[in-house]
Amino acid sequence: MKGGKVSAAAEFDEFYRASAQRVVHVVYASTGDLELAKDSTQEAFARAWQRWDQVSAADEPLAWVRTVARRIAISAWRKDTNRTKAMERHGEPGGPAAPSEDRVAVVAALRTLGPELRETLALHYLADMSVDEISWQTGSPPGTIKARLHRGRAQLAMAMTAPESEGGPDDQA
C-alpha cells in the first residue's frame, strides 16, 4: 500500500473474492448449467480485469460483471444450440477422406525437399498464393521465390519419378 491507497490488483482481488460466487449463482440460475456458469463468470472477470480502471469507476462494478457473464453464457448457449440444430439437420460431419495414393506420394516427395522449397511450393500450390504474395509473406524477393518454385518443382519431379527403393530386399541378383 502506497500512501494508504490500495493497489488496483489488490482491489480487484478483493472484488473477485467477494463477488465471484454470487455471479456464478446468478448465471447458473439463468442457464441451469453449472460449468457454463463457472466458465462465463471467469471470462467476465477476466474482461473486467482488462478494463478494471473503467469498471471499478462505474456505479455498480458487480452489475457490469454480472451482465457480461450472462451475455457470455447466452452466446455460448446459442452457439451450442445452433451447432446441435445443424447436426440434426445435416448429420454428423464426416471424417476426412482417406488420402489417395497420389496425395501420399506427393506428401512423401515434399518431405524430401528443404524447408524453404517445401514452404514456397505449399504456399503457391496449396494456398494458391501468387509469387508477390509469397514474397511479401516470407520477406524474400520475388526473384528468389521464382527460383525456389523452379528448383522445388524440379526436385519434386525427381523425387516422384525416382525408384521407390534402390538395392532393397526385392532387388536381389
Domain extents in the chain: 8-87, 101-161
Provide the 3-class DSSP secondary structure of residue 154.
Answer: helix
Q: How far, rounded to the nearest angstrom, does the alpha carbon of residue 124 sit from its chain's CA centroid?
A: 23
Model confidence at 145, pLDDT cuts 50, 70, 90, reads: very high
Contact 117, 148 (CB under 8 A): yes
| pLDDT given for residue 126 in this prediction | 77
Q: Which CATH number fits domain 8-87: 2.60.40, 1.10.1740, 2.60.34, 1.10.287?
A: 1.10.1740
| pLDDT given for residue 149 in this prediction | 95
Model confidence at 5, pLDDT cuts 50, 70, 90, reads: low
Question: pLDDT of 35-80, one tens digit each?
Answer: 999 999 999 999 999 999 999 999 999 999 999 999 999 999 899 8
Does CATH number 1.10.10.10 belong to domain 101-161?
Answer: yes
Identity of residue 46: A
Find residue 5's DSSP bridge partners: 2
User: Which region holds residue 166: left if phi is over 0, alpha if psi is between -120 and 50, else beta?
Assistant: beta
- d(CA 116, CA 137) in angstroms, rounded, equals 12
Question: pLDDT of 76-128, one tens digit each?
Answer: 989 988 888 888 888 777 767 777 888 788 888 888 888 889 889 888 887 78
Selected residue with higher pLDDT from 163 and 68: 68
C-alpha distance from residue 164 to each of 105, 160, 161, 171 (Å): 10, 9, 8, 11
Contact 131, 144 (CB under 8 A): no
**Main-chain dihedrals φ then ψ at residue 112, nearest 5 degrees:** -80, -15
Write down the H helix ranges in 51-170.
52-57, 61-90, 101-111, 115-121, 131-138, 142-161
Mean pLDDT for the stretch of residues 22-34: 89
Domains 8-87 and 101-161 share a fold: no
Does residue 1 have a pLDDT over 80?
no
| pLDDT given for residue 168 in this prediction | 44
Identity of residue 101: E
**Which of 11, 88, 89 minimizes the C-alpha distance to 48?**
11
| pLDDT given for residue 165 in this prediction | 45
Q: Count of CB atoms within 10 A of residue 66's CB?
A: 19
Selected residue with higher pLDDT from 2 and 32: 32
